[in-house]
Structures are given as structure tokens and as C-alpha cells.
Amino acid sequence: MAKQYDVLFRLLLLGDSGVGKTCLLCRFTDNEFHPSHISTIGVDFKMKTLEIDGIKVRIQIWDTAGQERYQTITKQYYRRAQGIFLVYDITSERSFQHIMKWASDVDEYAPEKVQKILVGNKSDEEQKRQVATEQGNKLAKAYGMDFFETSAFTNQNITESFTRLAELVLQANKKDLDLLGGSMNDEFNLAVLEEQEGLCNVSDDSRKSCWC
């Protein structure tokens, strides 16, 4: 099967329950926003291909359950990630404070080279804002991360933030790419080789119906 992309990255969405991780992902991959969807249980993922500097980048984005106890399951995925979104909700001071906890878990369990960006979601809910943009900026600076305020609802900064993290991962791994002289063949091991999938559509339209 011919490859439809040059490299494959794994990105991970982390942050408290209810900050909008699944909504960010749905907006980015399907350009959809569902005001009401069900809470994420365990781990799920979606895929999308981007083109950065002429390189076709296939990204696998892992969405996780935000409740603390689910980390006992989701931590196993940290080490497989090349990029991580730390997401909080600008209308929840608590979710912002927890970013420190998420960041330290990432330090502990993710690969050293992992790229991170900070995302303050729900920027459309200005009237309920509890975290000033400046606070987000400051924290991101302290961690040396890029920062975006996003809204899955209005589609603000969605493509920008996902593309930025993909760029950062690409840059961080550029050396490996160059070593291969740009001939990105099967030896290229930024991602597991067997991931030569065709088209993967992980849209979850679980349908319930009664036949009885």
C-alpha cells in the first residue's frame, strides 16, 4: 500500500475533566461542534493529515478521560506521545491551577523530548472568565511553552494550535529527518513502523436503537 503521508506523530490531549478536550478534537478533525456530547471514558483517538513545509504529517491525536483516577490507565500513553496539549478552561480557575499537576506528570512519564503547548479553551465565554489571558501567558512563559486561547465553539485558534504543536514536534525531530537525507523511508522511526494504515475514520457515531 502506498503511504499517504511522510511522517506520523502522536499528540496527546491532557487536562481536567470538562475543559473541552473532546470538543477541541472534534472541531479540528471534523470541523464539528456538539454543545452536548458524552464524557470521555478511558482513551480514544482521531487522525488527521497536515502539510507542514511540504511534508505530509499524519497526526494521531489521543483524547483522554480527565478525571484523576483515569490517569492510572492514561499514563501508559504518555510515553508514546511526541507532543502534548495541556488544556484548561478559562472559566475554571481550578482547571488552570491543575495545569501544574498535569505538567509535572508529563515530566515524569512522557519522553524527555516531548513538545508541549498550553491551551486555554472556551475563550468565547468571556462573561464567565476566571483566568486572565495574561495569567495563561505568564504560566506558558514559565514553562517555556507556546500558548493559545481557543474556542471549539467559535473555531478560534483551533487549526493554529494543532498546527503549531505539529510544527514543534517536526522541528524537534528535524535532525532525525535530515539524517535520513529527506528520503523518508520505512526506516524512519518517529512513529511505530506498522502504522502504515490506510484511511482511518474513528468517528464514533454510536447508535442506539431498540428492536425488541
User: Which residues here bind another protein, judged by CB under 8 A?
Assistant: 1, 17-18, 34, 36-39, 41-43, 45, 47, 60, 65, 67-70, 72-73, 76, 192, 194-198, 200-202, 204-212
130 vs 127: CA distance, rounded Å: 9
For the bound state, the minimum distance from the C-beta of residue 72 to another protein, rounded and expressed in Å, comes to 5
Strand partners, 47: 60
Cα 193 to Cα 69: distance, rounded to the nearest angstrom: 32
What is the smallest separation between the CB atom of 160 and another protein, expressed in angstroms? 25
Q: Catalogue the long-range contacts made by 40-49 (C-beta closer than 8 Å, 24 or more residues apart).
A: 40/64, 40/65, 40/66, 41/65, 41/70, 42/70, 42/73, 42/74, 43/73, 43/74, 43/77, 44/202, 44/204, 45/202, 46/202, 46/203, 47/200, 47/202, 48/162, 49/4, 49/5
DSSP, collapsed to helix, strand or coil, labels residue 51 as strand
- Of 42 and 182, nearer to another protein (C-beta) is 42
Residue 10 CB, shortest distance to another protein, in Å, is: 10
Smallest separation, CB 187 to another protein (Å): 18
Choice between 61 and 117, CB closer to another protein:
61
Nearer to another protein, 73 or 100 (CB): 73
CB nearer to another protein: pick between 65 and 87: 65
Q: Report, in Å, the least distance between residue 18 CB and another protein.
A: 4
Task: Give the residue with the Cβ less far from another protein, 73 or 142.
Answer: 73
